[in-house]
Amino acid sequence: MNAIPQAATLAQDCSPTTRSARWTVAEVEALYQLPLMDLIYRAQQVHRENFDANAIQRSTLLSVKTGGCSEDCGYCSQAARYTTGTEREALLPLDEVIAAAQAAKDKGASRFCMGAAWRGPKDKDLAKVTEMIRAVKGLGLQTCVTLGMLKEGQADELKEAGLDYYNHNLDTDASFYGQVITTHKHADRIDTLGQVREAGLKVCSGGIIGMGESRRNRAALIVQLANLNPPPESVPINNLVPIPGTPMAALAPIDNFEFVRTIAAARITMPASFVRLSAGRQAMAEELQALCFLAGANSIFYGDKLLTTGNPEADRDEALFEKLGLRPI
């Protein structure tokens, strides 16, 4: 009789019915080490237990305040210290935001996300954002914002305005975080997520893959997300888009199958979360996107642009969904 490989044994032991309450890095590394077909099969099983496997959530992301950010995130074109061609812009007028939200809804989006390039919002800016939230909510869309780190009481104001989700990505795991960002700490992000939860908001939090991190770093990121109590309702998995002028401009792309493994690991460890195929999708072939959906991704950003980077146009997405028989949520 052939011996069962150690990684497969550990992966079986950490199934939802047998594993401990909290995931460990070793358990998630074991998932990564499974044969790809076994990993995708398991992820698809988990997916079908919790979602319609042929339905995709569509979200649209609008930058309501672009550029001029004081942070030094090594991947970001909006950091003021990098020369990337992204200009500092003022907060968008309310009527432009409403028009963009209506257009997104008309194209089939069910959630509208608004992002601002701030370390954190000032009170005067937050008041304008809450106006946007109320207006977008009035169109019948789910609302999400990403505004940076929050101060005490700000999450409550957003909740009162009708916000559904707050996005604040962990980006990478705690041990690698200092190689990506130095102007704040990983713990600061966890603190903001705690404030969001206390206010009764849903959490949207994920990471970026391909920033020079190791597989262990990727596994640790998944563990940190999965062990939040509760895990994020939405988990965006971004594939780094190297932007000229940023410190990560010259990084080589991550292996496609490693990215698919990360999607599968997120699905298995966070069964009830929407796993979103996010930045980097513009460069993905249809076949790779389909493999990501098979591995458990069931949400996308929908539209022509994600903050400052490109995204497949809605018509291209519609054509792909028709080929795959995928329906909107």
Query: What's the CA gap between 208 and 242, in Å, rounded?
Result: 11
Considering 14, 42, 58, 73, which one is annotated as catalytic? Answer: 73
- Indicate which residue of 58, 69, 261, 281 is catalytic: 69
* The one catalytic residue among 14, 111, 113, 292: 113
Q: What single string gives the DSSP state of each residue in 309-324?
A: EE---HHHHHHHHHHH
Cis peptide before 230 (omega within 30 of 0): yes
Annotated catalytic, 292? Answer: no
Angle, CA of 174, 175 and 179, to the nearest 5°: 100
Contact 70, 119 (CB under 8 A): yes
Which residue among the candidates 76, 111, 281, 292 is catalytic per the annotation? 76
Is 14 known to be catalytic? no
> What separation in angstroms does the CA of 137 have from each of 29, 147, 162, 163, 276?
40, 18, 7, 8, 21
3-state secondary structure of 234: strand
14, 189, 204, 281: which one is catalytic?
204
Instruction: Show Cβ contacts of residue 150 under 8 Å, excluding neighbours closer than 6 positions.
Output: 120, 121, 166, 192, 195, 196
Query: Alpha carbon of 93 to those of 65, 96, 260, 316: distances in Å?
Result: 10, 6, 39, 29
Known active-site residue 76? yes
Q: Is 204 labeled as catalytic in the residue annotation? A: yes
Contacts of 87 (CB under 8 A, 6+ apart): 66, 67
Contact 189, 168 (CB under 8 A): yes
* Cα–Cα distance measured from residue 305 to residue 312, given in angstroms and rounded to the nearest whole number: 8
What kind and span of H or E run contains 209? strand 207-209
Catalytic residue among 42, 276, 281, 292: 276
User: Does the active-site annotation cover 276?
Assistant: yes
Give, as one character, the DSSP assignment of residue 305.
Answer: E
Closest Cα partner for 117 from 80, 150, 147, 81? 147
Active-site amino acid positions: 69, 73, 76, 113, 144, 204, 276
